[in-house]
Amino acid sequence: MIQRKRNATFPRRDFLGLAGMAAVLGGISCVGGVLGYLALDRALRSRRGADSVVDTLASRQAWIKQIERPPVVSRADWNARDPNHDAANEPGFYSAANPEGWREYKGDLRAIYRTVVVHHSVLYEADDPSTMRAIQDQHLDLRGWADIAYHFGVGRTGQVFEGRALGARGTHVEGYNTGSVGVVFFGNLQIDSPTAEQLEQGRRLIDWLALRLELTHLAGHRDFELTECPGQNMVPYLSLFAVSAGLALDTGGYQSAPE
């Protein structure tokens, strides 16, 4: 197993305080830029302490226990539809002859996943569960995919929802789905701001994914293709998510999963 550095979690008030700093830095130099990233990294290092480097298997196993998966609303609990394997744009099952079909990964997911990609949903319904259902309906009925595109959804109230099975390839970023985890934050974050609860639970989810899957990179959808997603009001927080999870903030970690 590859041993990797992983940052400690830090208190919610610290994360939100750094979020405020992100907004200030964004007005000076863009948080995604070098100055903003280094300032945030220095601030976080001062909170982590010197013992964040994992040197042995035993200490790594102890470290893993410090980062727990946030509570997740199951597919059954948000009344998800079953995948449709007759979908027009994700038909049947993956093979060399059908590369666009539903793909279930084989083997250790840590050898397959490298990048987490952040999105916004744009649409928002009456509440978080109905929004998750509306996203799935849109993807099955309008986009012609076999299931909801994303692996997880993060609601405005901070609820985290189980999306497409983590063992299955998503359909959330064209040309870069294989080996990337899709996380969608609810709302039109080009216009609205993410909520404090949404940011905190999203950070916890990304920390957990990064550790369990041994990810190396985080990126926004717009880093891969021409789109506003995940919205201008989410972009300043990508640096914070990356620093918290110990990930590089760019698309360089993308690699196709083995056949």
What's the chain look like in SS3? Answer: CCCCCCCCCCCHHHHHHHHHHHHHHHHHHCCCCHHHHHHHHHHHHHHHCHHHCCCCHHHHHHHHCCCCCCCEECCCCCCCCCCCCCCCCCCCECECCECCCECECCCCHHHCCCEEEEEECCCCCCCHHHHHHHHHHHHHHHCCCCCCCCCEEECCCCCEEECCCCCECCCCCCCCCCCEEEEEECCCCCCCCCCHHHHHHHHHHHHHHHHHHCCCEEEEHHHCCCCCCCCCCCHHHHHHHHHHHCCEECCCCCCCCCC
Answer whether residue 142 shows pLDDT above 80. yes
Tokens representing 238 are 């990508």
Mean pLDDT of 141-164: 98
Q: In whole angstroms, give the CA distance from residue 212 to residue 70.
A: 13
CATH number of the domain at 160, please. 3.40.80.10
Residue 258 placed within a domain = no
Half-sphere exposure of residue 21: CA atoms within 13 angstroms, side-chain side = 18
Output the pLDDT for position 69. 86
The closest of 127, 115, 164, 125 to 143, measured between CA atoms, is 164
The pLDDT of 82-93, averaged and rounded, is 96
- Average of per-residue pLDDT across 65-94: 93
Mean pLDDT of 105-121: 95
pTM, to two decimals: 0.78
Amino acid 253: pLDDT: 74
Q: Is the pLDDT of residue 58 over 90?
A: no
pLDDT(31) > 50 = no
Record the tokens describing residue 21, joined without a space: 């700093």
pLDDT at res. 24: 38
258: pLDDT confidence band, cut at 50, 70 and 90? low
Closest-CA residue to 218 (of 192, 246, 198, 188): 246
Q: Is the pLDDT of residue 43 over 70?
A: no
Q: What is the mean pLDDT of residues 168-192?
A: 95
Residue 59 lies in a domain: no
Q: List C-alpha distances in Å: 90 to 80, 101, 120, 155.
A: 18, 5, 22, 26
pLDDT of 22 strictly over 60: no
Domain interval for residue 181: 70-249
Average pLDDT over residues 41-46: 46
Residue 112 in this model has a pLDDT that exceeds 80: yes
Residues 154, 143, 219, CA angle at the centre, nearest 5°? 45
Place of tokens 């300043």: 236
In whole angstroms, what is the distance from residue 131 CA to residue 213 CA? Answer: 27
> How confident is the model over 236-252, as a mean pLDDT?
92
State the virtual CA torsion across 151, 245, 251, 238 in degrees, nearest 10.
90
**Average predicted confidence (pLDDT) for the chain:** 81
CA distance 239 to 112: 23
Q: Which residue has the higher pLDDT, 4 or 125?
A: 125
At 193 the pLDDT is 96
- Predicted local confidence at residue 44, as pLDDT: 46
Confidence of residue 132 (pLDDT cuts 50, 70, 90): very high
Higher per-residue pLDDT: 64 or 229? 229
* Residue at 29 is within a domain: no
Residue 197, pLDDT > 80, answer: yes
Domain membership flag for residue 78: yes
Cα–Cα distance between 54 and 48 in angstroms, integer?
13
How many domains in the chain? 1
Q: Give residue 122's pLDDT.
A: 97
Does 226 map to a domain?
yes
The answer as to whether 159 is a domain residue is: yes
The whole-number average pLDDT for the span 237-253 is 90
Q: Is residue 243 part of a domain?
A: yes
Is 52 within a domain?
no
Residue 147 token pair: 């299931």
